[in-house]
Structure 1
């Protein structure tokens, strides 16, 4: 049974990545994704308080990375909630520099 969940997780990641898009306007960041339907999320200009660029071992091999955007939103336990995440984007440091100054 655990192997089924691993295979399902891998399949859902591959399927959702092919339907994931990111956009930047002069006032907000827009994230679109989903496996069966489309989910849209947006972060407005002044809401981003912290941006984190992560490049893992596999990202180095594939020359990709991830950027996580945080806002001041917190859950019931006081932990910071990540507002948006760009996953497996090429050249994440250049993308970060471009987005950081939006």
Structure 2
């Protein structure tokens, strides 16, 4: 078995996350490829798109959110993420039980 170096693992991760180089990519393709893009803070997805696409324009992502091609919802770890509307249809039911448990825990912590 080949043992991969830390550098090879790092480079592989950067390529998988579309962070190895900024080349022209449209936001819909990026969101679809990554499945979920961090969206907890309002500017996070815009910064994430900029880091991945040399031609990114904020209005391109805003248009996808406006026409609901891309949605923002509580998903992974109960935090806000952007995903395609098609992916949301299978992601939300997949995480539903965990999200309900997290919401219940949060309610007990504040009460």
Indicate whether the TM-score tops 0.5.
no
Higher Cα Rg, which structure:
2
Q: TM-score, normalised by structure 1?
A: 0.29
